[in-house]
């Protein structure tokens, strides 16, 4: 059974079309769909791709991993060549039965934040998206904001761990959490979904206010795009 988050992201992909831009650098909607299908059920391609992206920033990729990445290239190319509707249908169908994510409860836990963020990658990259227009806001399903907050609490500590200053996340008239503790601190204020986008690297599209001591805000702002 397809979960509501998966069904919604599927609809967004089909509505956008294969050539639609996304907030993910270098990816159009087709490339995003390829990523989602690989993430769902091709660990032989997904794991090497993730490892290589992390290692490339620090050192050369070992030969054994390079071969695994070459295999991932083949898998992704095969998926990329599919008609877009067929590719998206593979995503709609969900992960293979042999994966833990095939269990509805585990899928919601593993994919709720991922699917929300990728939906915003599509919506907010569209030329028609206007953050000042109330019509551009997406209504969340019941319970989704609370689920995003639970995921955000875990993600934020990892996302901002290298910040030179402390980082607190605050929802107006709502919950708050300290992601990083330092002597000096900045406060990121916004709705839960906006804080999620900021923490997952969509900082230019996230409607978040940064406040705190002037020097702390300047230091944080100078490095935040690299975090």
pTM for the model = 0.91
How confident is the model over 153-170, as a mean pLDDT?
95
Q: Taking the domains of the chain in order of start, what are their residue ranges?
A: 4-128, 156-226
Report which of 194, 145, 138, 203 is spatially closest to residue 8, judged by C-alpha positions: 138
Distance CA 157, CA 134 (A): 31
The pLDDT-based confidence of 1 (bands split at 50, 70, 90) is very low
How confident is the model over 108-129, as a mean pLDDT?
93
Which alpha helices (DSSP H) does the chain contain, by range? 4-16, 29-41, 43-56, 63-80, 84-93, 104-123, 144-159, 192-199, 214-223
Q: What percent of the chain has pLDDT over 90?
A: 76
Distance CA 95, CA 103 (A): 9
Q: Residue 176: which region, alpha, beta or left (left: phi > 0; alpha: psi -120 to 50)?
A: beta
- The pLDDT of residue 62: 82
How confident is the model over 37-63, as a mean pLDDT?
84
Distance CA 209, CA 50 (A): 31
The pLDDT-based confidence of 56 (bands split at 50, 70, 90) is low
The pLDDT-based confidence of 196 (bands split at 50, 70, 90) is very high
- The pLDDT of residue 59: 61
Average pLDDT, the chain: 92
The pLDDT-based confidence of 2 (bands split at 50, 70, 90) is low
Quote the DSSP letter at residue 226: G
Q: Is the pLDDT of residue 99 over 80?
A: no
Q: Is the pLDDT of residue 139 over 90?
A: no
Q: Is the pLDDT of residue 57 over 60?
A: no
The total number of residues written for the chain in this structure: 227
- The pLDDT of residue 107: 74
pLDDT tens across 175-189, in order? 999 999 999 999 999
């Amino acid at each position: 059974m397809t979960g509501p988050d998966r069904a919604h992201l599927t609809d967004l992909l089909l509505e956008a079309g294969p050539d639609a831009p996304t907030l993910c650098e270098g990816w159009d909607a087709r490339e995003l769909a390829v990523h989602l299908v690989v993430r769902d059920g091709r660990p032989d391609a997904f794991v090497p791709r993730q490892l290589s992206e992390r290692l490339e920033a620090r050192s050369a990729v070992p030969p054994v991993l390079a071969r695994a990445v070459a295999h991932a290239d083949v898998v992704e190319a095969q998926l990329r060549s599919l008609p877009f509707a067929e590719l998206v249908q593979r995503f709609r169908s969900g992960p293979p039965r042999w994966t833990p994510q095939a269990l509805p409860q585990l899928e919601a836990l593993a994919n709720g934040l991922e699917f929300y963020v990728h939906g915003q990658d599509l919506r907010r990259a569209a030329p028609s998206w206007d953050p000042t227009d109330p019509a551009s806001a997406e209504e969340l399903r019941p319970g989704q904001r609370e689920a995003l907050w639970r995921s955000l609490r875990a993600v934020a500590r990892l996302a901002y761990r290298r910040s030179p200053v402390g980082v607190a996340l605050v929802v107006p008239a709502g919950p708050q959490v300290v992601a990083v503790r330092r002597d000096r601190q900045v406060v990121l204020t916004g709705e839960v979904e906006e804080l999620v986008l900021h923490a997952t690297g969509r900082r230019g599209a996230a409607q978040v206010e940064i406040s705190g001591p002037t020097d702390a805000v300047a230091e944080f702002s100078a490095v935040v795009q690299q975090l």
